């Protein structure tokens, strides 16, 4: 929403605020307080202990970096993000790369400082900031498996979908009706409007705090499914935030566990639940009611069967945020491999376009040569300094599949409930196993307790095969 001319001052303000927060988080005297707390640890409840662990995690991370580096990173990241916003439309990687070099240089410096303090590899020290406990040596075999399995699966699915007929419905779909549909679906699946809103932005997001969760979407007049599915995705994030343990609000242990669990909640909703045949049987009449003219002119476009086909089409493409559920992990695997090398120094920022193109050709059979806009410049993450964040998307997809499989085992009737638009039991299961846990458990523990097994690719692969080859669920 910000006018272009406001960017510089916004950057300064954020940098100042991050500096103030960093000062507070590293205040002299905190080390003594932690020492004292350790002596009294026997008197603490399990939640207090977990809270102390999370406080220490934040303290150790924050105090590993000098204030000057924190402010310099914030400033460089603001500038780089603004440069990216201007230069991406012009496909101008050469203009952007000086800013990007600076971001990578400072991020490597920070990664080294964290690495020294935390005894982690530098790249792991970055991942750990988004997903505490995640390690690249645990991620690598999961991603290697996906890299091995997905290309063959994608080829099969694309081939079989060639024979499917899909109607897309006659637009235009007025923005006001799309908004009404989004609000109605949010309400039906349990978004709390006393503690949140739906607004518009260029890229959908979920932000705010548990008592005021803001989600956004964007509207394309010709295709309502984009806004609808992004609203359902962000509603998954929002329900997690709104249902965090109220007793621990604004304490570290009361916060969401990490980015992969967060993404598991959005994908649980968007992918596991809302693209299922069962959900679409429930949603089809609501969708048709939102667009009465379109539904009258092409009624078959709003049948559950057609909606299912439409919302589960697979097609390799260049843009991650527009990717379908099957090709999406390929985009993440590429980013994971490249950002690891950016941090260990074996890939220079200047050489990213070439490495990107090579990776895309290998993994998805597409080239981005001469098209950096839709290649390595497509995401805001690296320009904004978010290196180590990408793995969480696919860890989240794996987690979502594993959680949903466990929920279906625990609630044998759940698919019938979804078909009737009843989400109480499913929400109860998520509340108990995920939401109410806040950051009490480590990610690994949370997944194992909820699903009975460590995180793997099997539930996700099984899900993809059932949905995309057998065309069930």
Q: Which is nearer to a copy of itself, 160 or 249 (CB)?
A: 249
Nearer to a copy of itself (CB atom), residue 246 or residue 469 = 246
Take residue 448 and report the two structure tokens written for it. 């194992």
Among 53, 101, 195, 341, binds a copy of itself (CB under 8 A): 195
Q: 122, 129, 196, 236: which one contacts a copy of itself (CB under 8 A)? A: 196
Cβ-based nearer residue to a copy of itself, 83 or 267: 83
193 is an interface residue for a copy of itself by CB under 8 A: yes
Q: According to CB under 8 A, which one of 67, 211, 225, 303 is a site residue for a copy of itself? A: 211
Residue 112 contacts residue 408 (beta carbons within 8 Å): no
Which C-beta is closer to a copy of itself: that of 242 or that of 437? Answer: 242
Q: Does 20 bind a copy of itself (CB under 8 A)?
A: yes
**Cβ atoms within 10 Å of 105's Cβ, excluding its own:** 14
The answer to whether 208 contacts a copy of itself (rule: CB under 8 A) is: yes
245 binds a copy of itself (CB under 8 A): no
SS3 214: strand
Q: How far is the CB of 254 from a copy of itself (least distance, A)?
A: 12
Instruction: Specify the DSSP class assigned to residue 289.
Output: H
234 an active-site residue? yes
Cβ 373 vs Cβ 89: under 8 Å = yes
> Two tokens at 214?
């803001």
**Nearest of 20, 25, 14 to residue 54 by alpha carbon:** 25
Shortest Å, Cβ 249 to a copy of itself: 8
Residue from 11, 54, 56, 48 nearest 30 by CA: 56
- The residue annotated as part of the active site, out of 234, 263, 270, 281, is 234
Residues 246-265 that bind a copy of itself (CB under 8 A): 250
Minimum distance of a copy of itself from residue 84's CB (angstroms): 19
Which residues, other chains included, contact 140 with Cβ-Cβ below 8 Å and sequence gap of 6+? none
Q: Which of 10, 148, 203, 466 binds a copy of itself (CB under 8 A)?
A: 10
Burial class (CB in 10 A: 0-12, 13-18, 19+), 94: exposed
42 contributes a contact to a copy of itself by CB under 8 A: no
Task: Return the number of the residue (40 or 247) whose C-beta is nearest a copy of itself.
Answer: 247
Stretch that binds a copy of itself, among 134-142, 191-199, 344-352, 362-370 (CB under 8 A): 191-199
14 is an interface residue for a copy of itself by CB under 8 A: no
- Cis before residue 348, ω within 30 degrees of 0? no
165 contributes a contact to a copy of itself by CB under 8 A? no
Q: Are residues 138 and 450 in contact, defined by beta-carbon separation less than 8 angstroms? A: no
Scanning 33-41, 47-55, 190-198, 308-316 for contacts with a copy of itself by CB under 8 A, the matching segment is 190-198
Pick the closer one to a copy of itself by CB: 5 or 152. 5
How many residues of this chain bind a copy of itself (CB under 8 A)?
Answer: 23
Which residue in the set 36, 45, 119, 194 belongs to the binding site for a copy of itself (CB under 8 A)?
194
Nearer to a copy of itself, 28 or 42 (CB): 28
Rounded CA-CA distance 154/177 in Å is: 34
| Residue 349: DSSP 8-state | G
Residue 5 engages a copy of itself in binding (rule: CB under 8 A): yes
> b or e along 347-371 (b: 16 or more beta carbons within 10 Å of the residue's beta carbon)?
bebeebbebbbebbeebbebebeeb
Cα–Cα–Cα angle for 415, 416, 418, nearest 5°? Answer: 65
Instruction: Mark out the alpha helices in 131-203 (DSSP H runs).
Output: 136-161, 175-188
Contact 328, 317 (CB under 8 A): no
Q: How far is CA 196 from CA 184, 209, 396, in A?
A: 14, 9, 23
Verify binding: residue 29, a copy of itself, rule CB under 8 A.
no
Where does this chain touch a copy of itself (CB under 8 A) — which range of 131-139, 205-213, 357-365, 399-407? Answer: 205-213
Q: Which of 166, 192, 225, 417 binds a copy of itself (CB under 8 A)?
A: 192
**Across the chain, which distance is largest between two alpha carbons, in Å?**
72
Closest CB to a copy of itself among residues 2, 42: 2
Rounded to whole angstroms, the Cα distance separating 364 from 372 reads 16
Residues that bind a copy of itself (CB under 8 A): 1-6, 8-10, 12, 20, 192-197, 199, 208-209, 211-212, 250
Residues annotated as catalytic are 234
């Amino acid at each position: 929403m910000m006018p272009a001319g406001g960017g510089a001052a916004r950057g300064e303000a954020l940098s100042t605020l991050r500096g103030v927060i960093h000062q507070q988080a590293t205040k002299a005297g905190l080390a003594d307080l932690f020492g004292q707390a350790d002596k009294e640890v026997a008197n603490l409840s399990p939640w207090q202990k977990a809270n102390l662990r999370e406080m220490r995690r934040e303290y150790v991370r924050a105090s590993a970096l000098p204030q000057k580096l924190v402010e310099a990173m914030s400033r460089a990241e603001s500038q780089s993000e603004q440069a990216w916003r201007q230069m991406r439309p012009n496909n101008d990687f050469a203009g952007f790369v000086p800013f990007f070099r600076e971001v990578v240089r400072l991020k490597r410096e920070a990664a080294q400082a964290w690495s020294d303090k935390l005894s982690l590899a530098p790249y792991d020290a970055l991942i750990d900031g988004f997903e505490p406990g995640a390690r690249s040596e645990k991620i690598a075999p999961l991603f290697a498996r996906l890299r091995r399995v997905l290309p063959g699966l994608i080829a099969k699915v694309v081939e079989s979908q060639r024979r499917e007929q899909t109607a897309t419905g006659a637009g235009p779909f007025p923005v006001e009706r799309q908004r009404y549909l989004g609000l109605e679906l949010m309400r039906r699946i349990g978004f709390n409007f006393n503690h949140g809103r739906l607004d518009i932005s260029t890229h959908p997001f979920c932000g705010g705090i548990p008592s005021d969760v803001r989600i956004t979407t964007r509207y394309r007049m010709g295709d309502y499914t984009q806004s609808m599915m992004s609203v359902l995705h962000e509603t998954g994030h929002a329900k997690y935030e709104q249902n965090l343990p109220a007793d621990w609000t604004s304490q570290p242990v009361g916060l969401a566990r990490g980015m992969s669990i967060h993404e598991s909640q959005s994908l649980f909703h968007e992918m596991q639940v809302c693209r299922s045949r069962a959900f679409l049987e429930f949603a089809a009449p609501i969708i048709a009611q939102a667009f009465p003219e379109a539904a009258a002119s092409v009624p078959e476009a709003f049948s559950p069967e057609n909606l299912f086909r439409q919302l589960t089409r697979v097609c390799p493409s260049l843009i991650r945020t527009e990717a379908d559920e099957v090709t999406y992990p390929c985009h993440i695997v590429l980013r994971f491999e490249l950002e690891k090398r950016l941090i260990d120094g074996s890939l220079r920022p200047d050489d990213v376009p070439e490495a990107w193109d090579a990776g895309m050709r290998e993994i998805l059979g597409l080239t981005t040569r001469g098209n950096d806009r839709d290649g390595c410049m497509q995401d805001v993450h690296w320009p904004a300094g978010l290196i180590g964040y990408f793995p969480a998307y696919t860890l989240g997809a794996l987690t979502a599949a594993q959680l949903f499989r466990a929920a279906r085992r625990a609630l044998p009737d759940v698919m019938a409930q979804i078909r009737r638009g009843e989400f109480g039991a499913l929400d109860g299961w998520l509340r108990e196993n995920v939401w109410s846990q806040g950051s009490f458990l480590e990610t690994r523990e949370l997944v194992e307790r909820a699903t009975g097994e460590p995180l793997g690719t099997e539930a996700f692969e099984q899900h993809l095969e059932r949905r995309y080859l057998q065309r069930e669920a």
